Structure formats: structure tokens, C-alpha cells
Amino acid sequence: MKKRIAFAAMILALSAGSVLPAFAGQWRNSGKTRWYQFDDGSYPKEKWEQIDGTWYFFDDNGYLFRGWHNIKGYWYYFDGDGRMLANTWIGNYYVGSTGAMLADCITPDGYRVGLDGKWIP
């Protein structure tokens, strides 16, 4: 019984530790490009990264996406600082809670969007 409790406590401690971010870091800029560098010198490439509660996507060179981008078949919009937007209209297109553009449905505020995601008046 004591071994089971100790094992369970160890699993719980390891699980809690794995939720915490492994590295802190800082933003870097050069001209119009922007990237994030972790304290160990590495940086995210070709992946999503949540930094300070905001989602970003980094290209294969480690630079932030800006504007509209198709990622694995879904369209996302990133503002001028590279932040993924969610639950908002971008012109005639609506991005939902996951940040992906909605298509062929009714938006949460009651508007219809077509197969291409564009608002249908």
C-alpha cells in the first residue's frame, strides 16, 4: 500500500512539473521580421507556441506569421505583432474560438458565411 501511494505521489509530481513551461525567453526583431528566442538560445520553428497566454505560429525559419495563413488546411489570421486572433471578424471573414476561419455555417453572432468563409449578406 505504501509503495502504491509513493508511486502515485511521484506520478502526480511529475505530471504537475510537465505542465509548466520549460523555458522563458524574449522577443527579437530585425527589420520587419520578429521571432522569439528561449533563454537556452533556441527558438520555435514550424510550430505553434503559446507565449504569455497568446498563440503564435513560427515559420520554418523561426519567424512569426502575419496576415492570413493556411496551416494544415485551416485559415488563421495573425495581426501585425504576430498574435493569432480568435472570436472576431477580419473584414468579411470570421475566426472562431480556435482561431480558424469559420466556413459554411452561422457565426456565433448570427451571420452566415459561405464555403469560402466569406460573409453572405
Predicted local distance difference test score (pLDDT) of residue 23: 54
Predicted local distance difference test score (pLDDT) of residue 30: 87
Predicted local distance difference test score (pLDDT) of residue 7: 42
Dihedral of the alpha carbons of 102, 70, 48, 113, in degrees to the nearest 10: -10
Q: How far is CA 113 from CA 5, 81, 94, 107, 110, in A?
A: 54, 27, 8, 7, 10
Position 105, amino acid: C
Predicted local distance difference test score (pLDDT) of residue 13: 45
Going through 18-73 in order, the beta strands assigned E by DSSP cover 25-30, 33-38, 47-51, 54-58, 67-71
Tens-binned pLDDT, residue by residue, of the chain (121 aa): 444 444 444 444 444 443 444 458 999 998 888 999 999 999 999 999 999 999 999 999 999 999 999 999 999 999 999 999 999 999 999 999 999 999 999 999 999 999 999 999 9
All 3 cell numbers of residue 102? Answer: 469559420
Predicted local distance difference test score (pLDDT) of residue 57: 98
